[in-house]
A and B are shown apart, each in its own frame.
Chain A
Amino acid sequence: MSSFLNTPSLGYRVEGLLAKPGSGLVALLVLFIIAMTFVAPSFLSFGNWENIANQAVFVLLLALGMTIVLIARGIDLSVGSVMGLSAGVAAFLINQGLIFPLALLAGIGCGLICGLLNALMITKLGLPDFVATLAMLGVARGVLFLWTEGTPFTRYMTPEYRLVGGQVKLGGIITIPIIVAVVLCILVSLMLRKSLIGRHLYAVGGSPDAARLSGISVSAVKTFAYVVSGGCAGLAGVILAGRATNVAPTLGTGYEILAITAAIIGGAALTGGQGRMVGAILGALTITLIANAMNIAGVTSEWQQVVTGIILLLAILLDRITAYFKKRQTSAEIEQSPQQEPTPATAPRRAIS
């Protein structure tokens, strides 16, 4: 941000830190964690952080897909249902005797197909994103209800699936869901920052018309976003089936709200063109951390809802404060070096230009 030669004052440097996207949220999380260590020292134990990481994986996978969709100025309400249906596909096929890796791939494939159907409804039929994915939310859930006839799929668990579901640690060190989440985070981050499709996503989300004029196929970009989101939901579903050890027709219900919340806490905007992979991680971690901490602190579930709401609100407000400092920094930099082009406030602007 600021040049070394300018030797900025301490206040300026603090402001610089505060201006970093997500810094407010990190500060909030740090304060929260410090407070929790007084309530229950066991909160800081390695085992608990392992639990938090394993619990956060599902929201994180969905939030990654959701962030991509939100960047492209869409929204995917179907992820919870698609997650459940994909879990059902994997469990059913294992019970039918299909070999384990193929059953998992079929589950993920189910997510990809649902994502593609969402995209086709939006790009070919011209349905609003909200409506198309809302329809998919209903259809995918309904199909799972009809298919299971209300009775959960069971008896599909194998030693390998226990490993994939994170019930057993790989080599006694780390669970597969965490490895999958880390790899996916790296891939998504590279895709968003380094690839052409990443820049196109921001361009389409920032201004679809401008993107179209500059020769970007908005349909293709949107299709990519929804297929990735569907694939993430499929992946989350097959892993969740391994964690839950049964696929109830209600599996994954309500996860769409968690995913959207995580993405938005992480800085993605419903208006498109904004969002980062790190944001999705922070968002998913915040949601999981709050639930975990309150269970440990013994906060009753009625109060948990109130506290969760307030903390989410605080997270968003802190983001606003971050934006304020960023604005101040940017204008300060302009004043200091009028010739130098200011650092773009957000990536999309860069992508569009």
Chain B
Amino acid sequence: METTPTRNENGTSGSTRRNILGAGALMGTLGLLTACTTPPGGSTAGGGSGGGGGGGAEGSAEFTDAVKKLVNGRTLQVGFTPPVLSEYYTQMENAAFTRMAQLEDLYGVQWKWEKSSPTGNFNAVEQQISTVQTWTSRKFDIVFICTGANFATMQGVYKNAMDAGTSIFQFNQPVELYPIDQINTVSNIGYDNRWQSGYVAGKFIADTLKGKGKIVQIMGPSGSDWTKARLIGFNQAMAENPGIEVVGTADGGYLRDKGLSAAQDLLTRHRDINAIYGENEDMALGASQAVDAAGLKQWDGSEGIVIVGADGLLSGMEAIRNGKLTASVDVNSVDNAIRMIDTAFQSVVLKNYVPKISNITTHLVTKDNVDAHAAYINGIMDPAKKY
């Protein structure tokens, strides 16, 4: 069972190491395509030998044939339900298709893929509960879910599904907020929002401002688990940097226009701020517009307002490149999806015991490294096969 990463592992000093691992993951993926030998555990990002990988020394002919026999041309009926349709989940879906096509090539596993997402706002969760129930009654093999629904409610839904033979895997879910023994899923693939997202953003701001300055925060909908978890990490970074003061917070509803309005309101009272933390990239980009509209200067490397978001979207990376966003915590849509597919394949087809919590790496993207991270995502945006 994987343990929660320590804070120190997620400081800026660790980013270089993760970049290398990220690159390694890409190499591993390419290696699979050409069926050459990659070291065990090297096939997925972050050295995830537990949850990742198709099952060991991928690439050797003997292993491939043996796994092929185990798979026996089986078709997996899969349901994918993100909390909202967005750029992040589109990136994830493309990465999942890329990995599914690789596993199909290698081991002959067939996939049937269905996607369903609430079409209302982020909190329209009832639709997801009935989606899981419908998929369970249709005898789906695997359900991948990320939801804004209440934790306890969902555990009941998951238990019924698992009892009926449908394996539930959560992705991108802030499970770190709950006791592990109360989570009724096979596995939870994601990252620790506290130390791999909120803390990273807070520390970056503090380091950039050299430990002194004023911040405003634009946060997600009140009560959201992501918001809660990220704030724990962000507040820890603030506690370690007493010279940094959070002077205002507003709800930006994870939306750009709401983030823009919220930032405008905060800037009315606090024109002398040094940084804005947007809990996601869309809100951070809204804040970026507000800073421009107020005639204030954005961070140019030595002065101006530092604006940090989190997501790792191609559009966000373009904004970083254009100087409209100082930095963003890329919570790694690509590895999230690859690890998700691998874990499900290992668990459902190979009957392996997979870790309950399987965390991928996250990256702090700045102008200096944006090209590498954007290229990593672009590498999966055109999957060999769509399901």
Q: Are B260 and A244 in contact (CB under 8 A)?
A: yes
List B contacts of A291 (CB < 8 A).
261, 265
- A51, B265: Cβ atoms under 8 Å? yes
Give the distance in Å from the alpha carbon of A228 to the alpha carbon of B12 in the complex.
Answer: 54
Judge whether B257 and A48 touch: CB under 8 Å: no
Instruction: Find out whether the CB atom of A43 lies under 8 angstroms from the CB atom of B257.
Output: no
Identity of the chain A residue whose Cβ is nearest the Cβ of B250 in the assembled complex = A295
A96 at the interface (CB under 8 A from B): no
Complex Cα gap A317–B248 (Å): 32
Q: B248 contacts A298, CB within 8 Å?
A: yes
How near does chain A come to B354, taking the closest CB pair, in angstroms? 28
- Is A250's CB under 8 angstroms from B248's CB? no
| CB neighbors of B among A7-65 (8 A) | 40, 42-43, 45, 47-48, 51, 55
When chains A and B are docked, how far (Å) is the Cα of A250 from the Cα of B253?
Answer: 11
B264 part of interface (Cβ distance < 8 Å): yes
Listed stretches A112-120, A141-149, A277-285; interface member = A141-149
For residue B320, give the distance in angstroms from its CB to the closest CB of chain A: 14
A250 touching B84 by the CB < 8 A rule? yes
B249 within 8 A of A: yes
Q: Render A236-252 as a binary contact track against B, CB cut-off 8 A, 1 for contact.
A: 00001001111011110
B86 adjacent to A51 (CB under 8 Å): no
Contacts of A298 in B (CB 8 A): 248-249
Q: A55-B261, A250-B255 are in contact. Are A167 and B289 (CB under 8 A)?
A: yes
Please measure, in the bound complex, the distance between the C-alpha atom of A302 and the C-alpha atom of B220, giving whole angstroms. 12
Q: Are B315 and A302 neighbours in the complex by a CB distance under 8 Å?
A: no
The docked-state distance in angstroms from the alpha carbon of A141 to that of B117 is 12
Tell whether B370 is near chain A: CB-to-CB under 8 Å: no
CB contact list, A304-343 vs B, under 8 A: 304-305
- Contact A43:B268 (CB < 8 A) given known A295-B262, A300-B249: yes
Cα–Cα distance between A40 and B264 once the two chains are bound (Å): 15
Q: A150 contacts which of B90, B262, B289 (Cβ < 8 Å)?
A: B90
Instruction: Place the interface of chain B in its size category.
Output: 35 or more
Tell me the complex Cα distance, A28–B285, Å: 35
- Contact (Cβ within 8 A) B90 A51: no
Given A150-B90, A295-B265, A301-B219: A248 in contact with B255 (beta carbons within 8 A): yes
* Pairwise interchain contact B257-A244, C-beta atoms closer than 8 A: yes
Give chain A nearest CB distance to B144 CB in angstroms.
15
- Chain A residues within 8 Å of B251, by CB: 301, 304
Interface residues of B in 108-124 (CB under 8 A from A): 117, 119-122
**Are B266 and A296 neighbours in the complex by a CB distance under 8 Å?**
yes
Residue in B117, B219, B268 whose beta carbon sits within 8 Å of that of A47 in the complex? B268
Q: Which 7 A-B residue pairs are closest in the complex by CB-CB distance?
A: A150-B85, A301-B251, A295-B265, A301-B222, A244-B257, A295-B250, A48-B268
A residues touching B (Cβ–Cβ < 8 Å)? 40, 42-43, 45, 47-48, 51, 55, 138, 141-142, 145, 148-152, 154, 167, 240, 243-246, 248-251, 253-254, 291-292, 295-296, 298, 300-302, 304-305
Q: List 25 A-B contacts (CB under 8 A).
A: A40-B269, A42-B269, A48-B265, A48-B268, A51-B265, A55-B261, A145-B85, A145-B119, A150-B89, A151-B86, A152-B86, A167-B292, A240-B257, A243-B260, A245-B256, A249-B85, A249-B86, A250-B121, A292-B265, A292-B268, A295-B248, A295-B262, A296-B269, A301-B249, A304-B251
